[in-house]
């Protein structure tokens, strides 16, 4: 009983655990709360946040456990450095012992640290109580606010002291930290402090909760660092990065101006406009140094600036020549400070940008002028490049001719769609869809090695040569054989370039035989799909380029029944690429085939400058009639009668007279000058409203169109046939030649 009274009635004692590990004396424990409490059984019943910080053991890990378990969780070094243990004071249940840190810092050192922080730290410190009233600020915080003494702010509400920084949202954050104890790190706060009311400053604020030893909130301490210079530098770099990333993707002068105004608003300026000279806007045929410096507004941001300033309106800058090409600041009533940024290239004025700040009092600084100069330099280069591109593009289109056509072949025996990119990688690319005799259609896709005007000129030469040779109805591999090499020799002799190399695919579809003859020089992609949507394959192997040294070109004749799909690309591509796989899926969809469309080709890679897709069709069996012609004089009359009956059966009585004369002259010439066997074929195309007459023999002599003299007994056959038909010609085959005519009729 006496022992219990002694424990409960006396002041608590301490046991100091020293590093020597011997007997320990009992001394009076300082009058402060224990950081941990053990009951009479040695179980932990109180474990404060101070104990967590001091011993590194979380409350959940030790509460309710014995003191012996504590020894397994605590580093022995922490204990040997000194702890104080003793009975707790009055008011606690008997038999309980407490734990205190041994040897606290002397009060003089603690106060010295605080004084140093509050008088010498460059970081602004603000101490708030639980009601968010200012208790203390250090000298750095006073300087940021523009006051020399903390007496002006102590005791006043936070929202009142920092009203220049819009504290509404910040106050909510402070109360959240006070309630949860979770610190707030590097919160950006902007405003105009009394110390510098003409410039907006940005502070990085971090907030921490102040607690007693039991973890109860006492208030807050907030640190503030002025990061205005750092943020402004970061913002300027971001503006410059946006301009470099966005501008120039499209070689268009007006688009460059639009990208500039969108990049600088609202970070660098509140309102931005760009005006370009009339010479810059009038197209590639105008000389930028012609002296026409009339400026017209072409871009403004935000959008309402277009209406206020009037896009397209003429502007005057009478003092531009006096100012030079460097950016300068001018004051405008109602607009605020305006930064005028001339855009020049090679000493010529291209335009002017106006950057204004009507919504903020911040003036433009030297760093802003340097940024404006960098923006002007990059924008001027992009605008000048855009103008040069427009000029080169106009030349390219003039050289290439009208390659972007509707996709119509002039033949109902083939349906086509295309995509053509005339710039960039498409400088030397082209495609053609050429109608041939006998209702056949030729497809050509090619690409010249190199870029620039030289490659464009070479492409035009090669394309023209292929178009001319196609009229001779040469086989695809014969057409490609010597064309490029001859052109390369001409270029070398003229000093316009080195040897020419090119890639080309040339395919001829015959709707009567339902076949497709294909030749390829190089590694361009050719894909063929069956009408049922399956069986996609590449029929040709990679071969030598045109003009290169190597084996002959790859050539083949493949079946092409109605509905077959041909895909010709100007470059090499992996047939398994997702874009090509998606294209094949669209072209081979279930159900009736839908019409081909250029929209099917939009998703193909941009490195495929020319893409041509075709779907084959065929003539009906009763639209083609053939017969063998005997090499006898009477065979001409028999052929005439057969042709007239055929056209009458087709319902083309009005066309029968012209066809009768054409057949008579063709058969007579073949009997006189050709070599048997001789075959006559007549083809009706009801969709194109044409009748084709063909006479074939194995001779090599070519008929010529000439005007016979009055006394001549012959020589009028080809002339008469040419006059009665719309087109005529001769095509050569391995077995001889075919003379043909094509005559249109009115249905």
Strands (E) across 570-708 are located at 610-616, 624-629, 678-685, 690-697
Residues 6+ apart with CB under 8 A from 727: 437, 741, 742
Token pair, residue 427, equals: 């400088």
| Phi/psi at 605 (5° precision) | -55, 150
More confident residue, 591 or 2: 591
360 band by pLDDT with thresholds 50, 70 and 90: confident
CATH architecture type of domain 405-616: 4-Layer Sandwich (3.60)
- Tell me the per-residue pLDDT of 698-738, one tens digit each, with 9 for 90 and over: 988 777 655 545 444 455 567 777 788 888 888 888 888 99
pLDDT in tens, 553-573: 778 899 999 989 999 988 888
Question: Alpha carbon 363 to chain centroid distance?
Answer: 36
Nearest to 432 by CA among 450, 416, 421: 416
Provide the residue ranges of all domains of the chain, joining segments of one domain with +.
2-101, 107-226, 231-396, 405-616, 621-744
Mean pLDDT of 639-646: 94
pLDDT of residue 707: 56
Residue 326: closest CA among 310, 342, 303, 314 = 342
Residue 305 CA to residue 335 CA, distance in Å, equals 12
CATH tag for 107-226 (out of 3.40.190.10, 3.40.30.10, 2.40.50.140, 3.30.450.20) = 3.30.450.20
For the 231-396 domain, the top CATH level (class) is alpha beta
Counting every residue written for the chain, the total comes to: 747
Q: How far apart are CA 193 and CA 200, in angstroms?
A: 8
The single residue listed with the structure tokens 């006394």 is 711
Cα angle, residue 491 at apex, residues 466 and 502 outer, rounded to 5° = 45
Q: Coil, helix or strand for 575?
A: coil
- Mean pLDDT of the chain, nearest integer: 78
pLDDT at residue 692 tops 90: yes
For residues 706, 708, 713 and 717, what is the CA-based torsion angle, rounded to 10 degrees?
Answer: 40
- Condensed to tens digits (0 to 9), the pLDDT of residues 511-555 reads 999 999 998 888 888 999 888 767 788 888 878 888 777 777 778
Among 146-150, 184-188, 522-526, 682-686, which range has the highest average pLDDT?
Answer: 682-686
Q: Which of 29-38, 179-188, 229-238, 363-372 has the lowest mean pLDDT?
A: 29-38
| Selected residue with higher pLDDT from 295 and 407 | 295
Per the CB < 8 A criterion, the answer to whether 211 and 49 are in contact is yes
Angle at alpha carbon of residue 130, lines to 111 and 46, rounded to 5°:
75
What pLDDT sits at residue 2? Answer: 37
Q: What is the pLDDT of residues 732-741, one digit of tens each?
A: 888 889 999 9
Q: What is the model's pLDDT at position 168?
A: 62
CATH topology of domain 2-101: Beta-Lactamase (3.30.450)
Measure the CA–CA gap between 225 and 227, rounded to whole angstroms: 6
Each residue of 128-144: b (16+ CB within 10 Å) or e?
bbeebbbbbbbbbbbbb
Fold entry, domain 621-744: Heat Shock Protein 90 (3.30.565)
Peptide bond into 281 cis (omega under 30): no
């Amino acid at each position: 009983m006496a022992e219990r009274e002694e424990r409960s009635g006396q002041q608590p004692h301490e046991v100091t655990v020293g590093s020597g590990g011997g007997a320990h004396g009992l001394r009076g424990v300082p009058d402060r709360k224990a950081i941990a409490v053990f009951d009479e059984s040695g179980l932990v019943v109180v474990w404060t946040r101070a104990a967590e910080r001091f011993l590194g053991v979380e409350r959940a890990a030790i509460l309710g456990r014995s003191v012996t378990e504590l020894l397994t969780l605590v580093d022995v070094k922490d204990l040997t450095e000194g702890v104080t243990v003793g009975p707790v004071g009055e008011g606690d249940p008997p038999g309980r012992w407490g734990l205190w840190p041994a040897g606290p810092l002397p009060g003089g050192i603690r106060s010295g640290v605080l004084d140093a922080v509050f008088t010498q730290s460059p970081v602004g410190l603000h101490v708030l109580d639980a009601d968010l009233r200012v208790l203390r600020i250090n000298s750095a915080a006073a300087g940021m606010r523009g006051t020399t003494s903390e007496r002006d702010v102590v005791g006043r509400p936070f929202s009142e002291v920092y009203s220049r920084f819009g504290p509404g949202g910040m106050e909510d954050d402070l109360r959240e930290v006070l309630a949860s104890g979770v610190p707030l790190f590097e919160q950006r706060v902007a405003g105009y402090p009394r110390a510098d009311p003409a410039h907006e400053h940005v502070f990085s604020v971090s907030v921490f909760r102040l607690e007693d030893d039991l973890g109860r909130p006492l208030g807050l301490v907030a640190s503030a660092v002025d990061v205005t210079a750092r943020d402004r530098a970061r913002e300027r770099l971001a503006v410059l990065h946006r301009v470099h990333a966005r501008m120039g993707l499209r070689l268009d002068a007006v688009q460059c101006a639009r990208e500039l105004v969108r990049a600088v608003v609202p970070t660098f300026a509140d309102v931005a406009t760009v005006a370009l000279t009339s010479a810059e806007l009038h197209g590639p045929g105008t000389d930028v140094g012609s002296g026409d410096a009339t400026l017209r507004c072409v871009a403004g941001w935000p959008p309402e600036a277009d209406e206020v300033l009037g896009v397209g309106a003429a502007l005057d800058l009478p003092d531009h020549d006096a100012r030079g090409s460097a950016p300068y600041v001018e004051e405008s009533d109602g607009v605020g400070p305006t930064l005028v940024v001339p855009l020049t290239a090679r000493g010529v004025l291209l335009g002017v940008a106006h950057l204004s700040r009507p919504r903020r009092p911040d003036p433009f600084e030297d760093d802003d002028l340097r940024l404006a100069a960098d923006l002007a330099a990059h924008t001027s280069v992009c605008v000048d490049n855009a103008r040069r591109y427009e000029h080169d593009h106009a030349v390219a289109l003039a050289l290439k001719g009208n390659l972007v056509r509707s996709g119509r072949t002039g033949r109902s025996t083939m349906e086509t769609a295309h995509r053509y990119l005339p710039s960039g990688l498409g400088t030397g690319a082209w495609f053609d869809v050429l109608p041939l005799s006998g209702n056949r259609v030729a497809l050509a896709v090619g690409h010249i090695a190199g870029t620039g005007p030289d490659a464009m000129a070479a492409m035009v030469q090669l394309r023209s040569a292929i178009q001319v040779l196609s009229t001779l109805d040469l086989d695809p591999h014969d057409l490609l054989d010597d064309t490029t090499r001859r052109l390369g020799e001409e270029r070398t002799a003229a000093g316009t370039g080195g040897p020419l190399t090119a890639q080309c695919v040339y395919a001829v579809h015959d709707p009567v035989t339902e076949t497709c003859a294909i030749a390829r020089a190089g590694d361009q992609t050719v894909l063929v799909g069956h009408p049922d949507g399956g069986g996609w394959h590449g029929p040709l192997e990679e071969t030598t380029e045109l003009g290169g040294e190597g084996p002959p070109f790859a050539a083949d004749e493949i079946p092409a029944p109605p509905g077959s799909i041909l895909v010709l690309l100007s470059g090499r591509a992996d047939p398994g690429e997702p874009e090509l796989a998606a294209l094949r899926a669209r072209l081979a969809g279930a159900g009736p085939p839908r019409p081909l469309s250029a929209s099917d080709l939009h998703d193909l890679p941009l490195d495929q400058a020319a893409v041509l897709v075709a779907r084959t069709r065929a003539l009906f069996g009763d639209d083609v009639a053939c017969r063998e012609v005997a090499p006898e004089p009477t065979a001409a009359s028999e052929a005439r009668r057969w042709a007239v009956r055929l056209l009458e059966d087709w319902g083309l009585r009005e066309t029968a007279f012209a066809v009768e004369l054409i057949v008579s002259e063709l058969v007579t010439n073949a009997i006189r000058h050709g070599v048997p066997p001789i075959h006559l074929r007549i083809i009706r195309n009801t969709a194109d409203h044409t009748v084709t007459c063909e006479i074939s023999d194995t001779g090599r002599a070519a008929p010529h169109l000439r005007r016979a003299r009055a006394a001549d007994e012959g020589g009028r056959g080809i002339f008469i046939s040419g006059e009665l038909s719309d087109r005529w010609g001769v095509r050569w085959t391995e077995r001889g030649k075919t003379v043909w005519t094509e005559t249109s009729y009115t249905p």
